[in-house]
């Protein structure tokens, strides 16, 4: 420790004093950030003050809760603990916590998954607790493979660190399988019998790329998995939760014949508490100390925090990815009474700019709630949330902020509980408003009380605007000739949705289906999963999405086997919407990982590798001008390929926004149009804010249906697209698109 270390401590002390006393701001990150500039080895130099050791907590969901709860348990067991409790989980946050602390027994640090590669080699932590890995901020972190590689690399540079991991998650188990470090497995050793959501983040074996099988699945990809080909499977559990009870009043489970209970609810909290129990036990902390910590745990940070506002119970929680949202929706569903639900979604850097993931959330489950729901959408991307909810069958009202929300629900009976779910940067302002308006201090977190609520017996829920029941005026709904129960349905084939649904691509199918149903047009959606076949002669519209490299490789083998059938389908006038990887494979050559391989050859185009490899990606919001729509076409791009069109095909559109590239770095054009094929790099999903494009595809598909069945053509009647147009206008204006 030389002059650099002394200087780092000095600048940290000065900046801490200034932030707290002059600017009256928290000093959780900045002092460590500037100190690391002075001494890049600062964390390594400070680590010896942790006399017993340290723990790093990583994972997509649950890091802050587990970190704080574990720190509380260790303190109750008589230890002095250093902890970055506010969730400042970069190296600067860890450094700041160490700089502000005196000698301690333990350090408990939350770490961002990618930043573990910077923190762990210096800290040389005793344990790394790996909670789970789910798709999150794909525009920032890329595919989950990148996170796995980063964590394995971090562990290689800290060989004495013990990995404590969620063995129910095949993505976490794959890390333990690859790392040479000693590992300790935890998981839930029984089937919780939970209803399954539509999207999981790991369908394939991490060793051999075979589709995984499950004895039972808890949620997402978590469960008792195994590979029928290579034997990759959930290992024996050293810490196993059994006798799990989940209820509106809380949860409980047994581990090592001791019961852990909490007033929280949700299966994900079982995993959080089990991970905490495993880490606490390994650190020599008795489970009674952990139970005491759970009983008094009240971080007041907006995670599962309950407020009393004008006699109404309000539950606030964080959700920043599809899995987190789906688990929150299950908490809402446990309340049988009438209720208020509000979603706040931002797209700042900490959230990720791409909101395609909203379409991987199963809001349709919320729409099935038998109680009366009053639903709101807030945050920077409130309009996008409103569109998503509309296509789930939920009529949501946009609010300016949490103050506006509370004003709007003031007239509702106070017996109706309110559930507010916000993503990362949307959470603090909502939390601030609730804290200010709460009557007294926020109550202890727990299950929201359903006493006094009542179930709606007969009043039907309002249909969203745009549907026949929700639109106003005869011009917005289908006329009588369209409502033909005896007509052949328009058939939509979604090819390999279990492999190719990386950016909410299934949302395009949902949109097409709903826009037909709202008009009374019969429609049948055929989801063709891996290993299944379909005769495209009886199909009117095909949807082909994109996926992670491993999944795209498996899907491409199936698609190449369908090459002649797909070629004949397109040449016969079949309608095809292809997104990202699905778009690339239509050409003569396309990009599979970093490898250029032979494509289907249906469209005259090629895709090549960028000069910088797969890390050289074109990522941003994008607006196009397209002949298929009078309004701007709004979406998001995230791709490494550089696509070049042949002479006989035309682009889907021309880039009209300052942001966005399209097919490649130079052309300022995106996608392709060939016969009835539309290929594009735009997701969001594409059709959510671009109903004109959706209806153009449907109109072409109705032409094919009429010819295929030798029946009169069905005309598309107008729908009320105000919600979609508002979302389109908001983004086109935000991005400064040229008119």
Choose one of 274, 296, 318: the last residue of a domain: 296
Residues in CB range of 637: below 8 A, 6 or more apart: 618, 619, 620, 622, 660, 661, 662, 670, 681, 682, 683
Side-chain half-sphere of 580: how many Cα atoms within 13 Å?
28
- Whether the CB-CB separation of 583 and 679 falls below 8 Å is answered with yes
Residue 230 is assigned to a ligand binding site: yes
Token representation of residue 129: 């607790």
pLDDT at 421: 98
Q: Is residue 460 part of a domain?
A: no
pLDDT at 620: 95
Residue 56 is assigned to a ligand binding site: no
Q: Is residue 199 part of a domain?
A: yes
Residue 574 maps to which CATH number? 3.40.50.880
pLDDT at 143: 74
**Domain coverage including residue 361:** 305-440
- Radius of gyration, CA atoms only, the chain: 27
Phi, psi of 639 (to 5 degrees): -150, 150
Q: Enumerate helices (H) and strands (E) in the chain, giving the number of each.
A: 22, 31
Secondary structure string (H, E, C) spanning 421-472 = EECCCCHHHHHHHHHHHCCCCCECCCCCCCCCCCCCCCCCCCCCECECCCCC
Residue 208 is assigned to a ligand binding site: yes
pLDDT at 248: 80
Residue 617 is assigned to a ligand binding site: yes
pLDDT at 23: 40
- Residues 692 and 361: their CA atoms lie apart, in Å, by 24
Q: How far is CA 388 from CA 43, 148, 343, 629, in A?
A: 44, 31, 11, 21
pLDDT at 466: 59
Q: Do 170 and 270 lie in a common domain?
A: yes
Q: Do 340 and 247 lie in a common domain?
A: no
Structural domains in the chain (count): 4
Q: Do 164 and 248 lie in a common domain?
A: yes
pLDDT at 461: 43
* Positions marked active-site: 354, 580, 683
pLDDT in tens, 570-586: 999 999 999 999 999 99
Residues of the chain with confidence (pLDDT) below 50? 6-25, 27, 440-463, 465, 468-483
Q: Do 376 and 512 lie in a common domain?
A: no
Q: How far is CA 573 from CA 160, 464, 634, 703, 706, in A?
A: 62, 33, 26, 9, 12
Choose one of 262, 296, 330: the last residue of a domain: 296
Q: Any idea how long the chain is?
A: 739
- Residues 231 and 289: their CA atoms lie apart, in Å, by 39
pLDDT at 30: 55
Q: Is residue 4 part of a domain?
A: yes
pTM across the whole model: 0.86
- Residues 251 and 181: their CA atoms lie apart, in Å, by 33
Q: Do 623 and 671 lie in a common domain?
A: yes
pLDDT at 612: 78
Q: Do 214 and 132 lie in a common domain?
A: yes
Of residues 359, 365, 421, the one with CA closest to residue 384: 359
Q: Do 128 and 156 lie in a common domain?
A: yes
DSSP assignment of 68-90 equals HHHHHHHHHTT--EEE-TT---S
- Residues 350 and 64: their CA atoms lie apart, in Å, by 15
Q: Is residue 461 part of a domain?
A: no
pLDDT at 203: 86
- Whether the CB-CB separation of 396 and 376 falls below 8 Å is answered with yes
- Whether the CB-CB separation of 639 and 618 falls below 8 Å is answered with yes
Of residues 341, 266, 390, 351, the one with CA closest to residue 691: 390
Phi, psi of 326 (to 5 degrees): -60, -40
- Residues 79 and 71: their CA atoms lie apart, in Å, by 9
Q: Do 289 and 310 lie in a common domain?
A: no
- Residues 306 and 344: their CA atoms lie apart, in Å, by 17
Q: Do 568 and 709 lie in a common domain?
A: yes
Q: Do 260 and 116 lie in a common domain?
A: yes
Q: Is residue 472 part of a domain?
A: no
Q: Is residue 396 part of a domain?
A: yes
Choose one of 411, 440, 469: the last residue of a domain: 440
Residue 83 is assigned to a ligand binding site: no
Q: Do 122 and 32 lie in a common domain?
A: no
Q: Which H or E element spans position 391?
A: helix 382-391
- Whether the CB-CB separation of 371 and 334 falls below 8 Å is answered with no
Q: Is residue 402 part of a domain?
A: yes
pLDDT at 627: 98
Phi, psi of 733 (to 5 degrees): -70, -45
pLDDT at 591: 85
pLDDT in tens, 405-450: 999 999 999 999 999 999 999 999 999 999 999 864 444 444 343 3
- Residues 108 and 54: their CA atoms lie apart, in Å, by 6
Q: Is residue 510 part of a domain?
A: yes
Q: Do 374 and 508 lie in a common domain?
A: no
């Amino acid at each position: 420790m030389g002059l650099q270390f002394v200087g780092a401590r000095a600048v940290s002390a000065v900046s801490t004093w200034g932030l707290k006393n002059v600017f009256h701001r928290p000093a959780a990150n900045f002092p460590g950030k500037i100190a690391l500039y002075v001494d890049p080895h600062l964390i390594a130099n400070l680590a010896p003050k942790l006399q017993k050791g340290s723990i790093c907590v990583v994972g997509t969901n649950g890091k802050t809760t587990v970190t704080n709860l574990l720190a509380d348990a260790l303190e109750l067991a008589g230890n002095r603990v250093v902890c970055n409790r506010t969730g400042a989980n970069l190296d600067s946050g860890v450094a700041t916590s160490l700089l502000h602390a005196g000698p301690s027994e333990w350090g408990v640090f939350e770490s961002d998954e990618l930043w573990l590669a910077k923190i762990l080699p210096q800290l040389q932590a005793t344990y790394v607790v790996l909670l789970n890995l789910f798709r999150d901020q794909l525009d920032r972190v890329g595919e989950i493979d990148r996170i796995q590689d980063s964590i394995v690399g971090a562990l290689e540079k800290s060989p004495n660190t013990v990995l404590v991991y969620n063995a129910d998650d095949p993505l976490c188990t794959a890390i333990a399988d690859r790392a040479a470090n000693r590992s300790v497995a935890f998981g839930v050793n029984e089937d919780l019998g939970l209803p399954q959501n539509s999207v999981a983040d790991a369908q394939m074996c991490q060793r051999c790329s075979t589709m995984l099988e499950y004895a039972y699945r808890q949620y997402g990809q978590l469960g008792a998995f195994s590979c029928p080909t290579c034997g990759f499977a959930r290992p024996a559990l050293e810490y196993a939760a059994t006798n799990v009870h989940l209820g509106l009043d809380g949860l409980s489970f047994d581990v090592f014949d001791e019961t852990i209970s909490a007033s929280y609810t949700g299966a994900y909290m079982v995993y959080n508490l089990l991970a905490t129990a495993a880490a606490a036990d390994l650190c020599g902390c008795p489970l009674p100390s952990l139970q005491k910590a759970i009983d008094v745990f009240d971080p007041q940070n907006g995670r599962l925090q309950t407020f009393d506002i004008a006699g109404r119970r309000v539950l606030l929680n964080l959700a920043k990815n599809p899995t987190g949202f789906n688990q929150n929706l299950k908490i809402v569903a446990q309340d049988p009474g009438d209720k208020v639900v509000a979603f706040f979604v931002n797209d700042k850097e900490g959230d990720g700019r791409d909101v395609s993931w909203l379409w991987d959330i199963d809001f349709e489950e919320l729409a099935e709630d038998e109680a009366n729901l009053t639903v709101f959408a807030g945050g920077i991307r409130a309009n996008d949330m409103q569109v998503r909810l509309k296509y789930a069958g939920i009529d949501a009202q946009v609010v300016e902020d949490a103050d506006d929300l509370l004003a709007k629900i003031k007239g509702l009976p106070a017996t109706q509980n309110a559930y507010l779910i916000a993503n990362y940067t949307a959470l603090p302002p909502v939390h601030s408003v609730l804290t200010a308006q709460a009557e007294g201090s926020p109550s202890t977190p727990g299950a929201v009380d359903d006493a006094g609520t009542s179930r709606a017996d007969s009043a039907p829920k309002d249909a969203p605007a745009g549907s026949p029941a929700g639109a106003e005026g005869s011009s917005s709904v289908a006329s009588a000739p369209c409502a033909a129960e005896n007509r052949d349905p328009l058939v939509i084939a979604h090819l390999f949705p279990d492999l190719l649904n990386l950016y909410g691509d299934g949302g395009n199918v949902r949109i097409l289906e709903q826009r037909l149903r709202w008009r009374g047009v019969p429609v049948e959606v055929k989801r063709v999963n891996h290993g299944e076949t379909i005769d495209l002669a009886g199909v009117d519209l095909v949807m082909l999405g994109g996926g992670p490299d491993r999944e795209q490789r498996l899907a491409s083998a199936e698609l190449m086997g369908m090459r002649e059938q797909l070629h004949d389908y397109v040449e016969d006038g079949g309608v095809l919407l292809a997104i990202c990887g699905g778009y690339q494979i239509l050409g003569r050559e396309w990009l599979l990982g970093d490898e250029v391989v032979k494509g289907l050859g249906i469209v005259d185009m090629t895709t090549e590798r960028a000069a910088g490899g797969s890390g050289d990606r074109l990522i941003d919001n994008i607006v196009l001008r397209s002949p298929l729509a009078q309004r701007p076409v709004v979406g998001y791009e995230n791709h490494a390929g550089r696509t070049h069109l042949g002479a006989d095909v035309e682009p889907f559109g021309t880039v009209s926004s300052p942001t966005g590239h399209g097919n490649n770095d130079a052309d300022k054009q995106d996608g392709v149009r060939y016969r009835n094929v539309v290929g594009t790099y735009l997701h969001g999903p594409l059709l959510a804010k671009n109903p004109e494009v959706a209806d153009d595809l449907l109109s072409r598909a109705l032409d094919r249906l009429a010819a295929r069945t030798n029946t009169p053509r069905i005309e598309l009647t107008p729908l009320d697209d105000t919600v979609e147009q508002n979302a389109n206008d908001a983004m086109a204006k935000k991005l400064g698109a040229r008119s």
